[in-house]
Structures are given as structure tokens and as C-alpha cells.
């Protein structure tokens, strides 16, 4: 079990390091981290390099006992701040298309999932003594919901946009329409089940395995063909996003016995029952 937890952290940390190095290579923010508003930033290259350095350092700290928890929780706060401050504002104010199109939310949802992964990673470390928890540590037990909301939304997107996604299925796999639909149903169903606290460990393990298989069946072949082309090396970054998501699901399976919000409701009901 301990080795699986370390593996999940390593998957997530590796994605941070690769994304950080990409910031140095391209000299701009990856669109997952900062919306198109970045073109108005002064000293964009310098800010991109600094953020890349921050991601690399955070990725390394996750491997260091005593440092990984705080580094992960702070990163979760950073990702949420960037999501609210750049993506949400852009979608609500500047987005020229209708907001109900799920495809418009792909990059913001990825940042939400990475934020959730950061909180899940922080939660996987030993808890602080009672009474010494800061805001981010108190938020950590609910951070998985950020990740699971993205997974559920991506599952729905696979169903809604199925005709546009069949090309991503490896050519040697028969009936690509089935595999796209299967992916959509399992992602959405798995995400909802874990959100509701249903069979968390087994479903999260299956989700981690499914995403890990995508890394090798879908992402790696495309990445090896052209690792740094197409939208700032998005193929390479997406491969490591998938690895981070697999690691996040693995950590959920290994560290979360019960959904915190479900437990909160149960405790609230018990308190009300005893009071009456």
C-alpha cells in the first residue's frame, strides 16, 4: 500500500516537472495554467520561467519527506487562484462562444483536476496534529471533488463529442465508436460513484488503471511522433496530464476510506438526532 501511495505521488510530481520544463522551453504559460489573458502580461517570458521553476521545485519537494505535504497544498491553492482569476474571468467576460459548450471548458477543467490532484497529494501525507490545521489542509479532504468533477465532465464530453474523438482510438483497436462510448460511460460513472462515496477503493483503482493504459495506448504513440509540435507541445503535456490523473486516482484509492462531505452530512444528521 505504501509503495502505491509513493507511486501515485511520483506520477503527479513527474507531470509537474515536465510542465515546468516546458515553461522554460516555450517561454509562455501553458494555456491550461493561464488563459489567453496572458498575452497582456508584462514580462511574460520572465513570469513563465518563474512559474516553470516553481512547478519543478514543487515536483521535487513532493519526493522529500516533510516537504511534500505543504508544497502540494500550496500548489493546489495556486492552481485554484489561477483558475478563478484567469480562466473563469475569461469565460464569463471575454469568451465569444456560448458557455454551455463543454469543449470550451477543457483547459479550465484540466487545471481544476490538477488542483484537485495537488490537494489529494497533500492529503496523502500524514495529517497535522489536531488544532494545527490551516485552511488549505482543512480543504484537502474535499480536493478530490475538483478532480472528480473534471473526470465526470470529460466522460460526458466523450459521449457528446464522440464523432470527433474516434480518431484518437489506436488504429489496431476494432470498433472505435464503442471504445469512445465505453470511455465516456466509465469516466462519468466512475467519477459520480466516487463523489457519492460508493465503493471508493475498487472504482478509483480501476479508474487509475484505465487512465494509465491511455497513457501508453493513446498518448505515448502521438507524443513520440512529434513531442514538441502542435500547440506548445500539447501532446507531451497531455500525456503527463494523464499520468498525473492516474496518480491522483491511485492516491484516492489508497488514502480515502470515505467521502468527507458524505461523512459531514452523516455526522450532522447524528447530531440533530441526538439533540432532538
pLDDT at 233 over 80: no
DSSP state of 199: S
Residue 47, CB-side half-sphere exposure with 13 Å CA sphere: 12
In a domain, 182, yes or no: yes
The tens digit of pLDDT for each residue in 163-206 reads 988 888 888 888 999 999 999 999 999 999 999 999 999 999 99
Residue 105 lies in a domain: yes
Q: How confident is the model at residue 122 (pLDDT cuts 50, 70, 90)?
A: very high
Asked if residue 273 belongs to a domain, the reply is no
**Residue at 271 is within a domain:** no
pLDDT of 221 reads: 81
Tell me the pLDDT band of 275, cut-offs 50, 70 and 90: low
The reply to whether 216 falls in a domain is yes
Expressed in percent and rounded to 5, the helix, strand and coil fractions of the chain are 80, 0, 20
Least reliable range by pLDDT among 11-25, 99-113, 118-132: 118-132
Q: Output the pLDDT for position 107.
A: 93
Within a domain: 275: no
Confidence of residue 272 (pLDDT cuts 50, 70, 90): confident
Nearest Cα residue to 151 out of 67, 248, 73, 270: 248
Average pLDDT on 215-228 reads 78
- Statement: residue 223 has pLDDT above 90: no
Residue with the bigger pLDDT between 272 and 206: it is: 206
pTM for the model stands at: 0.93
Distance CA 231, CA 177 (A): 26
- For residue 234, what pLDDT is reported? 77
Select the more confidently predicted residue: 226 or 72. 72
Contact indicator for 52, 24 with CB cutoff of 8 Å: yes
pLDDT tens-place string over residues 82-118? 999 999 999 999 888 887 787 789 999 999 999 999 9
Query: Which residue segment(s) compose the domain that 59 sits in?
Result: 2-265
Give domain status of residue 69, yes or no. yes
Cell numbers for 50, please give them: 518563474
Per-residue model confidence (pLDDT) at position 227: 65
Chain centroid to Cα 243, Å, comes to 10
pLDDT, position 229 = 58
274 part of a folded domain: no
Domain count, the chain: 1
pLDDT of residue 90: 92
Q: What is the mean pLDDT of the chain?
A: 91
Amino acid at each position: 500500500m505504501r509503495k502505491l501511495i509513493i507511486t501515485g505521488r511520483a506520477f503527479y510530481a513527474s507531470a509537474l516537472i515536465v510542465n515546468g520544463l516546458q515553461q522554460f522551453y516555450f517561454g509562455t504559460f501553458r494555456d491550461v495554467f493561464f488563459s489567453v489573458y496572458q498575452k497582456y502580461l508584462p514580462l511574460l517570458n520572465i513570469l513563465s520561467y518563474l512559474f516553470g521553476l516553481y512547478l519543478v521545485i514543487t515536483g521535487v519537494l513532493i519526493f522529500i519527506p516533510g516537504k511534500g505535504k505543504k508544497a502540494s497544498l500550496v500548489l493546489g491553492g495556486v492552481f485554484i487562484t489561477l483558475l478563478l482569476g484567469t480562466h473563469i474571468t475569461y469565460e464569463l467576460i471575454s469568451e465569444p462562444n456560448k458557455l454551455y459548450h463543454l469543449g470550451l471548458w477543457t483547459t479550465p477543467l484540466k487545471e481544476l483536476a490538477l488542483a484537485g490532484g495537488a490537494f489529494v497529494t497533500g492529503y496523502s501525507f500524514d495529517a497535522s496534529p489536531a488544532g494545527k490545521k490551516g485552511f488549505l489542509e482543512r480543504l484537502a479532504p474535499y480536493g478530490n471533488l475538483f478532480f472528480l468533477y473534471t473526470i465526470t465532465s470529460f466522460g460526458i464530453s466523450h459521449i457528446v463529442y464522440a464523432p470527433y474523438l474516434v480518431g484518437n482510438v489506436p488504429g489496431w483497436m476494432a470498433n472505435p465508436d464503442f471504445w469512445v462510448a465505453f470511455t465516456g460511460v466509465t469516466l462519468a460513472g466512475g467519477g459520480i460513484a466516487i463523489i457519492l462515496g460508493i465503493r471508493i477503493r475498487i472504482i478509483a483503482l480501476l479508474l487509475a488503471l484505465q487512465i494509465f493504459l491511455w497513457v501508453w495506448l493513446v498518448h505515448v504513440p502521438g507524443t513520440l511522433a512529434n513531442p514538441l509540435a502542435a500547440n506548445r507541445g500539447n501532446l507531451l503535456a497531455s500525456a503527463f496530464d494523464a499520468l498525473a490523473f492516474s496518480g491522483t486516482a491511485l492516491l484516492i484509492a489508497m488514502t480515502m476510506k470515505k467521502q468527507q462531505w458524505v461523512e459531514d452530512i452523516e455526522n450532522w444528521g447524528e447530531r440533530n438526532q441526538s439533540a432532538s
